[in-house]
Amino acid sequence: MSLTKHCLAASPSVTGTPSKGFDEKAYLAAKQLRAGEDPYRQHAFNQLESDKLSPDRPIRDTRHYSCPSVSYSLDLPATSVIITFHNEARSTLLRTVKSVLNRTPANLIQEIILVDDFSSDPEDCLLLTRIPKVKCLRNDRREGLIRSRVRGADVAAAAVLTFLDSHCEVNTEWLQPMLQRVKEDHTRVVSPIIDVISLDNFAYLAASADLRGGFDWSLHFKWEQIPLEQKMSRTDPTRPIRTPVIAGGIFVIDKSWFNHLGKYDAQMDIWGGENFELSFRVWMCGGSLEIVPCSRVGHVFRKRHPYNFPEGNALTYIRNTKRTAEVWMDEYKQYYYEARPSAIGKAFGSVATRIEQRKKMNCKSFRWYLENVYPELTVPEKEVLPGIIKQGVNCLESQGQDTAGDTLLGMGICRGSAKNPPAAQAWLFSDHLIQQQGKCLAAAFPSPGALVALQVCNPKEGSQKWRRKGSLIQQSVSGLCLEMQPAQLVTNKCQADTPAQQWQLLPHS
């Protein structure tokens, strides 16, 4: 577990100039695919295609056309790039390293720290230290990417850390926009848009610029569209996108902030879940996460893991996500267990020190996170709650029918008691529906000022789905809020300080 002597050697030459000591061709040739071998077997991508490409191949600049005219500080901080890998293909590993050196101003790269997570051949890593700035740490047993990254971060000399997977290609001006955001505010943790390098033919493909990181209650990561209301209000495509979670592999973080927040949970093994744990921690403990669209980094997304999990893939994922749920999700962890029942009763080690750290840092609650960072994640509401819907001293009520036979909705002084209201003021809240006698509140054509009416309940109907957002009641599909205007109930742009949008849902029991 020590720095090898290669790693301590000073780097005499300037970044970008080929190093005399490193023979690229020999490095690659030594590990070429044997004739007849399945090119997907070892790495779960087409190694043959990767091996054919130059380590310096050009790629298309996939940024929005307004990005090149954005300017950045002249005194951006330098960064230590940390790349952990376990049995990576030489051609992809080398291309990752070269793309960084070729496409980044030399003064911004302090060093590239490779953490060889006990790959079969130590030379995959060691030989690369002949390239200026490249260092190599080798684990003397398999640790997994989480502990490996911490090991790399601990020896990093720069004030800012940049993590990359070992099969990436960074694009034009990828680093500057991320460093700029971190320099302005060291609590920001930033990612690029992650472009796709085809696992079949290694074509470099632009990813959508309208995505952010999301997840479901089983703690399964997914890319999702940024909410409509945010998309509509985006006038400048170079502005960062707030993201509830990051994908995990490619991000920039201030080193002292990373340390302050507790690095990673070192009891997580191999792969998976650490991105949720870090994301919840960053948001809940005073930082923020964002995707910077003018930064683009390509990554080979695979369909299966090319390496083994000593404890098995499923158990490892459970252990890591269960530790995340136990430390960060408070009472909401019940939904994790409902969505992933196989996690119930499984061993996950002690989380006492992580919980203690959360307390010490005085982090906010998971409820705060849900309300402020990820209100789009719907909380399962299985039980049916009977109740009243109050605004000031008035209650939402049905007020007979109009000539077309539609129920009129309005406000009336609350009668009876919350426990025993008259039928016209009694509502059921269930599964995101708000109903009265089989009819549900619906905004069929939601727009500011559009009427909300009662319709026959249909749980599949998006226009009938509502969720609480503090004291607002928001329609999930449109993002608009329920508002009482003098004579009618409408949807309108959500405004937390508008009294007509403040609602209390008081249950009967």
Q: Closest CB to ligand UD2 among 194 and 434? A: 194
**Minimum CB separation from ligand UD2 for residue 307, in Å?**
6
Q: Tell me which stretch binds Mn ion (CB under 5 A): 63-71, 160-168, 193-201, 434-442.
A: 160-168
Which one, 108 or 115, has the nearer CB to Mn ion? 115
Q: Return residues touching ligand UD2 (CB under 6 A).
A: 84-86, 88, 117, 142, 144-145, 148, 165-166, 194, 247-250, 270-272, 274-275, 299, 302, 305, 307
* Residue 375 contact among Mn ion, ligand UD2, none, beta carbon within 5 to 8 Å by kind: none
Using alpha carbons only, give the angle 392, 395, 398 rounded to the nearest 5 degrees.
150
Query: Residue 47 binds what, of ligand UD2, Mn ion, none (CB under 5 to 8 Å, by partner type)?
Result: none
Q: Provide, rounded to whole angstroms, the least separation between the CB of residue 320 and ligand UD2.
A: 8
Least distance CB 415 / ligand UD2 (angstroms): 55
Shortest-Cβ-distance residue relative to Mn ion: 165
Which does residue 207 bind out of Mn ion, ligand UD2, none, counting CB within 5 to 8 angstroms by kind?
A: none
Pick from 51, 143, 165, 254: which binds Mn ion (CB under 5 A)? Answer: 165
The least distance separating ligand UD2 from the CB of residue 213, rounded to whole angstroms, comes to: 9
Pick 116 or 165: Cβ nearer Mn ion: 165
d(CA 225, CA 373): 15
Nearest to 137 by CA among 145, 123, 150, 126: 126
By the rule CB under 5 A, 117 interacts with Mn ion: no
Task: Identify which of residues 25 and 304 has a Cβ nearer to ligand UD2 in the complex.
Answer: 304
Entry field: residues in the chain: 509
In the bound complex, what is the minimum distance in angstroms from residue 330's beta carbon to ligand UD2? Answer: 23
Instruction: For Mn ion, give the closer residue by CB, 165 or 254.
Output: 165
Residue 269 sits in the site that holds Mn ion (CB under 5 A): no
How many other CB atoms are there within 10 angstroms of residue 75's CB atom?
7
Q: Which is nearer to ligand UD2, 110 or 275 (CB)?
A: 275
Q: Which two tokens stand for residue 99?
A: 């793309």
Closest by CA position to 117, among listed 151, 66, 94: 151
Closest among 5, 51, 50, 59 to 28, alpha carbons compared: 51
Interaction between residue 274 and Mn ion (CB under 5 A): no
Nearer to Mn ion, 88 or 326 (CB): 88
CB 100 within 8 A of CB 132: no
The candidate with the shortest Cα–Cα distance to 365, out of 338, 332, 339, 323, is: 332
CB of 54 to ligand UD2, least distance (A): 21
Name the residue among 59, 48, 44 with its Cα closest to residue 204.
59
Residue 330, Ramachandran bin (φ over 0: left; ψ between -120 and 50: alpha; else beta): left
If one counts every other C-beta atom within 10 angstroms of the C-beta of residue 43, the result is 20
What letter does residue 464 receive in the DSSP assignment? G
- Choice between 148 and 176, CB closer to ligand UD2: 148
Which of 410, 462, 421, 420 lies closest to 440, judged by CA? 462
Nearest distance, CB of residue 20 and ligand UD2, angstroms: 28
DSSP tag of 343 = G
> Cα–Cα distance between 64 and 59 in angstroms, integer?
15
Residue with tokens 């529906």: 433
Residue 67 vs 291, nearer CB to ligand UD2: 291
Q: Tell me which of ligand UD2, Mn ion, none is bound by residue 144, counting a contact when its beta carbon lies within the kind-specific cut-off of 5 to 8 angstroms.
A: ligand UD2
- Residues with Cβ within 8 Å of 133's Cβ and at least 6 positions away in sequence, in order, are 11, 15, 101, 109, 110, 111, 112
Q: Are 445 and 400 in contact, with CB atoms under 8 Å apart?
A: no
The distance of closest approach from Cβ of residue 229 to ligand UD2 in the complex, given in angstroms and rounded to an integer, is: 27
Which partner from the list Mn ion, ligand UD2, none does 92 bind, CB cut-off 5 to 8 Å by kind?
A: none
Binding site for Mn ion (CB under 5 A): 165
